[in-house]
Chains A and B, each alone.
Chain A
């Protein structure tokens, strides 16, 4: 099992539905920020977007599709799309700046209309400060089927404009709030995640378009991640999302950052060092920005030459970071070394040291662990135990004692994972204990599958259930969560 196969081959059947539609919109907008309007990559993204829209229109009986945007979240048919919201930070930001509550697409929407929208949001929106002005600008470009919606107003529960408000009509006025209330703990982590994705998208745009990378914003968010991890590891570690911009997976980078930080903070209390490691983890794959589009997007097995291109991403990464403002040598060396093997294998070819730095070893471990346990369209999520065992089999890739420490820190049942207990109840691991197989589990689902009432939710320390009362973890539940 080699890591290359784990996350360089992220080629998949395209998912459909509102989440995919929003994701494609984000990709199209990002592409438009990087390339000229006529660039084939912008065109192809719009084409995909149009297909997605047709699909949604077929499923909808209203003859139009409306995507709501409020309070930092994307809504569809009355439901918040948490996953899609996580990567749509820049879109949400633009809509908010325009005072708009979302987008409405008529059934007559053409590819040209979508092109106009993408061009407008990614380029021209900055010059406009109100959604109605934006709509007239779209009009002038001949785009009449796409509209920016007025803001959703909680008081009246309806739009201030004539445009219908389908996305809210399906739920009572408090649903929007309830949807978030469902898991209040998740809100702050979600917002941090959103911010980091936004910063990564910017980084991507900067490095793709040949501008110097500005790492300062992302560095600020790493600080928040660290603070949040310290206060509430569970909800932070629960956040995982598969989304991708081309083959550069922001979600992967962010999760690697979480995992690496959560590990590293058990090894040092030096906050500055932790922030540097977090930043290095976040940026470890930034070099993929320079890997040719065709290689990243190839659906065939990569030829040797293409593989060589792909394997350049660590070298590119170091270079991009070296050219950034105020580069950190630690991040540079992590990006450069994260696919190198201790026994001289891996890539890129370079002079090797007997011992990689701890930062590199930590990110390598987090990188592979994330790739193995993440949800991917082409592969199911994997139980941590299996991932660890595979990693132990990857000889020469990890420092064994550090891998052991990682497994101890991350746990057989990592914090944040959902587990099924021998009683049939289901819960979430909220804390590890000195006994590897007996974490503290917060149960929230009865044996019957019914959710427990808030009062019945309890934190079970499995160590304390012994003898006849012994409760064991049966298994980790692997279903995608978001």
Chain B
């Protein structure tokens, strides 16, 4: 069977050629005998063995593309195999087979490793059945209704498209596409539409965006593809799949080149020609930069992005032209709406905000506030950016800008989401410092004291504003401080820090009773150097503290009052303690100390209490003070007088 048919590559004993012959013999056999016939079976086994051998022989090529099989196709009177081609002698089994393939619209097949005895039989039976069909113009789908595993049908429609096929099998520069005109364009367009090709194209275009934007028309996808196809070696064209994979190889190389990365291609002898081609194509299509691009522009070669069509020129229905233009658009690497949620929310917020700031009475628009709230439920960076633009973006006039800002702030505060103002970066420390005291109240509302970062930032802001300015701004900040919720103001007492002392003083003035314990805790943590703060350590509970004492303590620290000014307040706290403990434990140590301390902080209230204790002995109506305490009161009274 190795009886030579004219061969260019040798005696024709390569497994791939023997495989082709064996396939022809098998098909002839099965046309005569039933499937189970021993002759059929023997040929089939031989054929699969030869396929395995041919695959083994093609190991090197297949290492690049493991899915690749052995293709056998017929062109005119030539059988084309992966590495060689042979003239077809008339009346050989191969010629017989070609007739049948022809009839079924096939140029040949590619046999993949996974092919089975069953699938070869199935394919051959269908091939023979198709030969018997009489009706003309039967569609390929009707001819080949089933898939035969491991048998890839190679369409005859590429007939005549590739002049290079059947050539020498070596790299034949310029032997490329013989047919020109619409068929070529059509074919290139179909290539461009292939997902593998368009994906690589998109990546290349991404790398060369600048050039494309510059009007680099030579970067046009179809031109580039045409160059590649023209220059591809003939054996890359034995099937559409092979062609696509060759084109993709070259494109990957180009991508590496234009992307600045080294081409990821080992320079083995096998793909050397691809590398050459890749260099050639990228030189031709992507190397026109700088001065040369300028020259081309002035020479009118490089035209506008719209394909050189003047804007007002007539646009016609030319579909080929359309496909070329479409292919110049960036390909979508899977546009999915699911990825769009972020953009959508930002856009919705932009639009809703537009109504918020532009309508005279936005609250009358039923859906506006609810939708704004919904969109702002879990805001992301996109929404923050929108808020920022509405708060700080430019506007036609300063008045508009301020109005816009006020409307947004008002809404967010009213919606209970003022923290968003800070989250979107609208209330930066710089802004607060600059606008103090205007933005300060809002800043306090938006700060999250549970976050150490926020707490630190607030301390920093307070330090930069300075105690003096803060205390002086007291009246101006009144309204803002009143707006703070109990939780918000209470949070400000967390993480005591000296820098926030003035602020604490202001808060205390605002919420005198409710904040006394928190303020006392705060001040105790600071452990101020003032002697008068001893009371903070004297008691275990702060419910007896007074606002006057605590504020006095702070004022003293800021030297806004004298120690003497504080006597009354200290004395008051002591008195409260002494009275409160009277029922529980009149001889409590801290209570006795309090009575002693009264002497250090003279006040009318203190004096009266001492007198009262001294006189309040046990009696028939229930005494108030034990004798020892009365005695102590008398002693302290004497010191008092002395003082």
Q: Is B157 touching A437 in the complex (CB atoms < 8 A)?
A: no
A330 touches B306 (CB 8 A): no
Instruction: Return chain B residues, CB-CB under 8 Å to A228.
Output: none
The complex places the Cα of A319 from the Cα of B352 at a distance, in Å, of 10
Q: Report which of A332, A358, A408 forms a contact with B343, defined as CB distance below 8 A.
A: A358
Could you tell me which residues of chain B, from 366 to 399, have a CB within 8 Å of some CB in chain A? 366-368, 371, 374-375, 382, 386, 389-390, 393
Closest-by-CB residue of B relative to A360 is B347
Give the residues from 165 to 213 in chain A that come closer than 8 angstroms, CB to CB, to chain B: 212
Q: How far is the CB of B151 from chain A (nearest CB, A)?
A: 19
Which of the 9-residue segments A61-69, A291-299, A396-404 touches chain B? Answer: A396-404
Cross-chain contact of A437 among B186, B365, B374 (Cβ < 8 A) = B186
**Extra inter-chain contacts (5) besides given A404-B330, A436-B323, CB under 8 Å:** A323-B365, A351-B390, A389-B321, A401-B329, A467-B157
Q: How far is the CB of B10 from chain A (nearest CB, A)?
A: 33
Chain A residues positioned under 8 Å from B340 (CB to CB): 357-359
Question: A424 an interface residue at 8 Å Cβ cutoff?
Answer: no
Min Cβ gap B598→A in Å is: 67
- Judge whether A353 and B346 touch: CB under 8 Å: yes
Within B188-204, the residues touching A (CB, 8 Å) are 189-190, 193
Q: In the complex, what distance in Å separates the CA atom of A123 from the CA atom of B577? A: 83
B326 and A407 contacting across the interface, CB-CB below 8 Å: yes
Identify which of A36-44, A52-60, A266-274, A448-456 touches chain B: A266-274
Q: Does A300 contact B (CB under 8 A)?
A: no
For the complex, is B42 an interface residue (Cβ under 8 Å from A)?
Answer: no
Q: How far is the CA of A403 from the CA of B330 in the complex (A)?
A: 9
Please report the C-alpha to C-alpha distance between residue A51 and residue B355 in the assembled complex, in whole angstroms.
44
Given contacts A436-B193, A475-B317, contact A319 B365 (CB under 8 A): yes
Q: Which residues of B have CB within 8 Å of A356?
A: 343, 347
User: Once the chains bind, are A476 and B189 in contact (CB under 8 Å)?
Assistant: no
Given contacts A273-B337, A435-B190, contact A322 B365 (CB under 8 A): yes
In the complex, what's the smallest C-beta–C-beta distance from B324 to chain A, in angstroms? 10
> When each residue 403-416 of chain A gets 1 if its CB lies under 8 Å from chain B and 0 otherwise, what string results?
11101100010000
Q: Does B137 contact A (CB under 8 A)?
A: yes
A-chain residues with CB within 8 Å of residue B137 when the two chains form the complex = 465, 469
Contact of B332 among A322, A390, A392, A402 (CB under 8 A): A402
Q: Is the CB of A337 within 8 A of B330?
A: no
Distance in angstroms from A211 CB to nearest chain B CB is 12
- Give the contacts of A327-356 with B (CB-CB under 8 A): 327, 329-330, 332-333, 336-337, 348, 350-353, 355-356
Contact of A401 among B193, B332, B375, B386 (CB under 8 A): B332
Residues of A within 8 A of B366 (CB): 212, 322-323, 327
Tell me how far the C-beta of B133 lies from the nearest C-beta in chain A, rounded to whole angstroms.
Answer: 15
Determine whether the beta carbon of B317 is less than 8 Å from that of A322: no
Q: Does A261 contact B (CB under 8 A)?
A: no
Interface residues in B, total, Cβ within 8 A = 60
- A464 surroundings in chain B (CB, below 8 A): 139-141
6 smallest CB-CB distances across A and B, nearest first, come from A466-B157, A327-B367, A268-B337, A357-B344, A404-B329, A329-B348
How far, in whole Å, are A403 and B386 apart by their CA atoms in the complex? Answer: 26
Contact A358 B348 (CB under 8 A): no
B319 is an interface residue with CB less than 8 A from chain A? yes
Q: Is B3 interfacial (CB 8 A cutoff)?
A: no
Contact B326 A404 (CB under 8 A): yes
Contact flag A267-B337 (CB < 8 Å), given A400-B329, A436-B189, A467-B156: yes
- Rounded to whole angstroms, the CA-CA distance of A466 and B137 in the bound complex is 10
Minimum C-beta distance from B100 to chain A (A): 17
Count A-side interface residues using an 8 Å CB cutoff: 61
| Residue of B159, B316, B329, B365 most packed against chain A (CB within 10 A) | B329
In the complex, chain A residues whose CB is within 8 Å of the CB of B193: 408, 434-436
Q: Does B172 contact A (CB under 8 A)?
A: no
Assess whether A466 is in contact with B156, with CB atoms less than 8 Å apart: yes
B355 touches A383 (CB 8 A): no
Q: Which of B330, B338, B374 contacts A268 (CB 8 A)?
A: B338
How long is the Cα–Cα vector from A461 to B493 in the complex, in angstroms? 78
A385: Cβ under 8 A from any B Cβ: yes
Find the B residue at minimum CB distance from A473.
Answer: B319
Whether the Cβ atoms of A401 and B335 lie closer than 8 Å is yes
Question: With contacts A270-B338, A329-B352, A358-B335 known, is A393 near B306, CB below 8 A?
Answer: yes
Beyond A267-B335, A400-B330, is A386–B317 a contact (Cβ under 8 Å)? yes
**Residue among A329, A400, A465 with the highest chain B CB neighbour number at 10 A:** A329
Chain B contact residues, CB within 8 Å of chain A:
105, 137, 139-141, 155-157, 159, 186, 189-190, 193, 305-306, 309, 311, 315-319, 321-323, 325-326, 329-332, 335-338, 340, 343-344, 346-348, 350-355, 359, 365-368, 371, 374-375, 382, 386, 389-390, 393
Q: Which residues of B contact A21 (CB under 8 A)?
A: none
Chain A residues within 8 Å of B, Cβ to Cβ: 212, 264, 267-268, 270, 273, 318-319, 321-324, 327, 329-330, 332-333, 336-337, 348, 350-353, 355-360, 383, 385-386, 388-390, 392-393, 395, 400-405, 407-408, 412, 434-437, 461, 464-467, 469, 473, 475-476
Residues of B within 8 A of A212 (CB): 366
The distance from the CB of B299 to the nearest CB of chain A, in whole angstroms, is: 24
Give every chain B residue within 8 A of A467 (Cβ-Cβ). 156-157, 159
In angstroms, Cα B322 to Cα A358, docked, is 24
Kindly list chain B residues whose C-beta atoms are within 8 Å of the C-beta of A383. Answer: 317
The residue in chain B whose Cβ has the minimal distance to the Cβ of A324 is B367
Q: Is the CB of B389 within 8 A of A351?
A: yes
Q: How far is the CA of A336 from the CA of B353 in the complex (A)?
A: 12
Partner of B354, one of A336, A400, A405, A475: A336
A324-B137 Cα distance, complex, nearest whole Å: 58
CA distance in complex: A356, B348 (Å):
10
14 residue pairs from A and B, CB less than 8 Å apart: A322-B352, A322-B366, A322-B371, A329-B371, A357-B343, A358-B335, A360-B347, A389-B316, A389-B325, A392-B306, A392-B329, A412-B322, A466-B155, A476-B317
* Distance of B361 from chain A, by nearest CB (Å): 12
Flag if B389 contacts A393 (CB, 8 Å).
Answer: no
- Per the bound structure, the CA–CA distance linking A322 and B330 in Å amounts to 36
The answer to whether A336 and B371 have CB atoms under 8 Å apart is no
Q: Smallest distance from the beta carbon of B134 to chain A beta carbons, Å?
A: 16
B189, B329, B355: the one contacting A403 at CB < 8 Å is B329
Q: Is the CB of B322 within 8 A of A385?
A: yes
| B354, A351: Cβ atoms closer than 8 Å | yes
| B344 cross-chain contacts in A, Cβ below 8 A | 330, 333, 357-359
CA distance A328 to B347 in the complex (A): 13
Measured CB to CB, the nearest residue on chain B to A413 is B319
CB distance from B352 to the nearest CB of A (A): 7
- Distance from A276 Cβ to chain B, minimum over Cβ atoms (Å): 10
Q: A469 to B157, alpha carbons, bound, how many Å?
A: 10
A469 to B368, CA, bound (A): 62
Bound together, the chains give a CA A327 to CA B311 distance in angstroms of 41
In contact, B319 and A336 (Cβ under 8 angstroms): no
Q: Please report the C-alpha to C-alpha distance between residue A237 and residue B424 in the assembled complex, in whole angstroms.
A: 45
Q: In the complex the two chains form, is A437's CB within 8 Å of B323's CB?
A: yes
Report chain A residues within 8 Å CB of B319.
385, 412, 436-437, 473
Query: How distant is the Cα of A383 from the Cα of B449 in the complex, in angstroms?
Result: 64
**Cα distance A332–B139 in the bound complex, in angstroms:** 50
In the assembly, what is the distance between CA of A395 and CA of B316, in Å? 18
A386 with B315: in contact, given A264-B337, A437-B186, A461-B139 (CB under 8 Å)?
Answer: yes
Chain B residue at minimal CB-CB distance from A321: B367
Complex: how many Å from CA A462 to CA B66? 33
Bound CA–CA A208/B622 (angstroms): 86
Residue from B338, B343, B351 whose CB has the most chain A CB atoms within 10 Å: B351
Given contacts A327-B371, A357-B347, contact A267 B336 (CB under 8 A): yes
**A404 and B337: CB pair below 8 A?**
no
With both chains docked as a complex, state the minimum distance between the C-beta of B382 and any C-beta of chain A, in angstroms: 8
In the bound complex, what is the Cα–Cα distance between A359 and B193 (angstroms)? 25
Give min CB distance, B411 to chain A, whole Å.
15
B141 touches A337 (CB 8 A): no
Q: How far is the CA of A81 from the CA of B390 in the complex (A)?
A: 53
A353 and B332: CB pair below 8 A?
Answer: no
Inter-subunit contact B374/A329 (CB<8 Å): yes
